[in-house]
Amino acid sequence: MPTVGLFIPCYVDQLFPQVGLATVDLLEQAGYGVEYPADQTCCGQPMANTGCTEQARPLAERFLAIFSGYDYVVAPSGSCVAMVRCHYDEYLAGQPGFEELKKKTFELCEFLVDVADTSRVDHRFPYRVGLHQSCHGLRELRLASSSELVAPAFGKAQRLLQMVDGLELVTLARPDECCGFGGTFAVAEEAVSCMMGNDRIHDHLTAGAEVLTANDMSCLMHMAGLIRRQGKPLRVMHIAEILAGHSK
């Protein structure tokens, strides 16, 4: 049985443990052994995105040391996977095991579709769901077609959600606009960030969504923060929770 090294982003570990647990279930259901290396912390993305590359470098090196032994590395976060696959070259190019690491590191939905070849999901989720396409998953990892490019449409998360019995995906006016989280951007440009988030939420509500989902918890944390403050009628769930049937 191939073993997956579970990569749980730091803030998911601390704030959204239910997303990690759903991920474990999904991977085990798909027939993989799952191991969570306890000494992992953060992939270094916040530092790298701020320009503090020297603060990110040791974290990239730790990541390689911790995860290089597994058959696959899977994370329920497109953004953190994009850090490894698209931005670690700066720190790790040429190091033994790095090229393999890039090839075997996957975002959860991508892994379920491309590697595990998932063809059915055994849960019912009778709600209207709005899928927020998280930007790094979309335009770095290409987990779905982006609306700017002229190419056939596809989407890995959509494909999985369509397998869920009773689930209805709503159609958004702006299918893949950014929610405005953007790491330190959410704080440094608070006003624009919150306006972006509110506009995203409005689009989902207008489309009739009851549940807002995404494959990045960071986008959801930002939008859930706005939704709760304003008491808007929209539930927020990570896609892993829906797919694993952890929907309460």
Return the residues of window 82-141 that contact other proteins according to CB under 8 A.
Answer: 135-136, 138-140
Q: Min. distance of Cβ 214 from other proteins in angstroms?
A: 13
Taking the complex as a whole, the smallest distance from the CB of residue 112 to other proteins amounts, in Å, to: 19
Strand positions, DSSP E, the chain: 3-6, 33-35, 72-75, 105-107, 128-132, 168-169, 211-214, 235-238
Q: Tell me the window of 13-21, 98-106, 113-121, 204-212 that interacts with other proteins (CB under 8 A).
A: 13-21
**Among 120, 187, 233, 248, contact with other proteins (rule: CB under 8 A):** 187
Does 245 interact with other proteins (rule: CB under 8 A)?
A: no
Write down the least CB distance from residue 120 to other proteins, Å: 25
Q: For residues 76 and 106, what is the distance between their CA atoms, to the nearest angstrom?
A: 9
Query: Do the Cβ atoms of 19 and 246 come closer than 8 Å?
Result: no
> In the structure encoding, which two tokens stand for residue 165, read together?
């019995």
- Is 205 one of the binding residues for other proteins (CB under 8 A)? no
Nearest to 203 by CA among 170, 156, 237: 170
- Nearest approach in angstroms of CB 41 to other proteins is 4
Spatial distance between the Cα atoms of 131 and 170, rounded to a whole number of angstroms: 8
Q: Using the rule CB under 8 A, which residue among 186, 201, 209, 212 binds other proteins?
A: 186
CB-nearer residue toward other proteins: 126 or 192: 192
**Which whole-number Å values give the CA distances from 97 to 106, 167, 172, in the listed order?**
16, 41, 41
Taking the complex as a whole, the smallest distance from the CB of residue 76 to other proteins amounts, in Å, to 10
Residue 29 binding other proteins, by CB under 8 A: no
Asked whether position 229 contacts other proteins by CB under 8 A, the answer is yes
In the bound state with other proteins, the residue whose beta carbon lies nearer, of 149 and 162, is: 149
224 forms part of the interface with other proteins (CB under 8 A): yes
For β-strands 72-75 and 105-107, DSSP reports them as: parallel
Residue from 180, 211, 215, 238 touching other proteins (CB under 8 A): that is: 180
Beta bridge partners of 128: 168
C-alpha torsion angle, residues 28, 31, 37, 40 (rounded to 10): -80
Single residue of 178, 212, 240, 243 touching other proteins by CB under 8 A: 178
